[in-house]
Amino acid sequence: MSSADGIPFLDLAGQHAEIANQLDEAWAKVTSTNGFIGGSYVAAFEAEYAKYCGTSECVGVANGTDAIELILRGLGIGPGDEVIVPANTFVATVEAVVDAGATPVFVDVADDTLLVTAAHIEAALTPRTAAAIVVHLYGQMPDMDAISAVTDEAGIVLIEDAAQAQGAAWRDRRAGSWGRAASFSFYPGKNLGAFGDAGAVTTDDAELTNRIRSLGDHGRRLGTKHEHALSGVNSRLDALQAAILSIKLERLDDWNSRRRAAADYYRELLRGTDIRVLHTAPEATPIHHLEIVRVSDRDAVTSALDAHGIGWGLHYPIPCHQQNPFTRFAHGPCMITERAAREILSVPMFPTITRREVERVCEILIAAGQGSPSGTGS
Ligand SMILES: *Cc1c(COP(=O)(O)O)cnc(C)c1O
């Protein structure tokens, strides 16, 4: 098979071609304003994104990791506080907790979705628990009704790490609107991606919004130029990124539904085979940021994909509680996360992937992935 037949893991060029003219116009408009950080393009995107998520507030920040840390600092969560986090997440979730000075408490995930559940959170509560961060990993939300009930009952803060979930929903209520606050990343590869690093916090809490605005702007007292009330950081959204995000936001639902169609086709073709896919609850509207399959002999499958020029990824092969800086916070194994780390494989997924491309990926997966992975299919 020639490399001309290859399929990339993620193709952003196809998306950008659809909005090329608008991107050129936005670039010209922003450069003519002379304002590159904050300003009207940032304010416009913040308003649009809050509306999209169903919250009253949105603050643009420099990236998704800062968004989590600023939420924690804005809520006064730090040294002495425990924050429950899933072991199955990108390290940034945990890193932000540690950088805020709080103690991450790792919990395992459900085997069928690889997401945290209410029961996991409930079992990890202690008198020092200040917050739980749920991660809508791969673009799918866990049972937010059950999780909200547990965090409300315990009197702890619920935070959403929605970096992979722009537009995802649970019972038609969007990611970003369930927790006290939610963090988003607009890293280029996310479903809503900037042309560089960018992020945001959504919330209905206006006071928290003001604290995050101030913390992210060197602790500047809002409305003043020279007064700094807090020792903050520099974490602001660029005007160019905001203008690009506004253009892409108009396309997001369409792009997400094209990903859903591709994901449905993957599921149809893999049904009844040894390749496991993730379960989707009827209440969930996933956005398939990543398309995860589980295979028993991953090396054989990735070799076959390589041989055919098909892109793949691993999200994530080393669980957070086994990463060097965080092992000191581990208090036992997370068996499901650890087993998943050996089996998971991310296959090509992007809005412009064709049915023929999905078929080719599945043919190779099925041919190379013989042998039952542990657990049952879904
Ligand atoms: C991408 C990501 C982040 C971090 O976002 P950055 O913008 O890269 O800082 C945090 N959590 C999860 C789950 C992510 O996927």
Ligand 1: does its nearest atom lie under 6 Å from the Cβ of 341?
A: no
Q: What is the pLDDT of residue 4?
A: 54
Are 279 and 109 in contact, with CB atoms under 8 Å apart?
Answer: no
Question: How far, in Å, from the CA of 164 to the mean position of ligand 1?
Answer: 7
Phi-psi region of 284 (alpha: psi -120 to 50; beta: other; left: phi over 0): beta
377 has pLDDT over 80: no
Residue 201: φ, ψ to 5°: -120, 135
Structure tokens at 251: 């396309």
Segment 185-220, tens digit of pLDDT: 999 999 999 999 999 999 999 999 999 999 999 999
Q: What is the pLDDT of residue 5?
A: 78
Ligand 1: does its nearest atom lie under 6 Å from the Cβ of 50?
A: no
Mutate to test the pocket of ligand 1, among 116, 164, 201, 314 (most ligand atoms within 8 A of CB): 164
Q: What is the pLDDT of residue 370?
A: 73
Question: How far, in Å, from the CA of 161 to the mean position of ligand 1?
Answer: 8
Ligand 1: does its nearest atom lie under 6 Å from the Cβ of 235?
A: no
Q: What is the pLDDT of residue 371?
A: 54
CA distance 187 to 19: 18
Ligand 1: does its nearest atom lie under 6 Å from the Cβ of 346?
A: no
DSSP state, residue 4: G
Q: What is the pLDDT of residue 35?
A: 86
Residue 3's pLDDT band (cuts 50, 70, 90):
very low
- 200 CB contacts (<8 Å, ≥6 apart)? 46, 49, 58, 59, 60, 61, 67, 183, 184, 186, 237
Question: How far, in Å, from the CA of 88 to the mean position of ligand 1?
Answer: 13
Ligand 1: does its nearest atom lie under 6 Å from the Cβ of 184?
A: no
Strand order in the sheet with 173-174: 173-174, 169-170, 284-285
Residue 4 CB burial class (10 angstroms; 0-12, 13-18, ≥19): exposed
Kindly state the average pLDDT of the residues 146-170.
98
Four-residue CA torsion sign, 52, 57, 61, 65: negative
Taking residue 152's Cβ as centre, other Cβ atoms within 10 Å add up to 10
DSSP state, residue 327: G
Ligand 1: does its nearest atom lie under 6 Å from the Cβ of 69?
A: no
Question: How far, in Å, from the CA of 309 to the mean position of ligand 1?
Answer: 27
Kindly state the average pLDDT of the residues 208-237.
96
Are 98 and 72 in contact, with CB atoms under 8 Å apart?
Answer: no
Chain centroid offset of residue 219 CA: 27
CA angle 126, 132, 135 (to 5 degrees): 145
Ligand 1: does its nearest atom lie under 6 Å from the Cβ of 138?
A: no
Structure tokens at 253: 């639902």
Question: How far, in Å, from the CA of 274 to the mean position of ligand 1?
Answer: 31
Kindly state the average pLDDT of the residues 101-126.
98
373 has pLDDT over 80: no
221 has pLDDT over 50: yes
CA distance 258 to 291: 13
- 154 CB contacts (<8 Å, ≥6 apart)? 122, 125, 129
pTM assigned to the model: 0.96
Mutate to test the pocket of ligand 1, among 71, 90, 287 (most ligand atoms within 8 A of CB): 90
Kindly state the average pLDDT of the residues 72-96.
98
Nearest CA to ligand 1 atom 10: 92
Burial 90-115 (b: 16+ CB within 10 A, else e): bbbbbbbbbbbebbbbbbbbbbbbbb
Question: How far, in Å, from the CA of 159 to the mean position of ligand 1?
Answer: 14
Ligand 1: does its nearest atom lie under 6 Å from the Cβ of 199?
A: yes
Ligand 1: does its nearest atom lie under 6 Å from the Cβ of 161?
A: yes
Residue 303's pLDDT band (cuts 50, 70, 90):
very high
Chain centroid offset of residue 9 CA: 17
375 has pLDDT over 50: no
CA distance 256 to 350: 9
132 has pLDDT over 50: yes
What number does the ligand 1 atom closest to the CA of 67 have? 9
Q: What is the pLDDT of residue 376?
A: 43
Segment 315-350, tens digit of pLDDT: 999 999 999 999 999 999 999 999 999 999 999 999
Mean pLDDT for all residues in the chain: 95
Phi-psi region of 39 (alpha: psi -120 to 50; beta: other; left: phi over 0): left
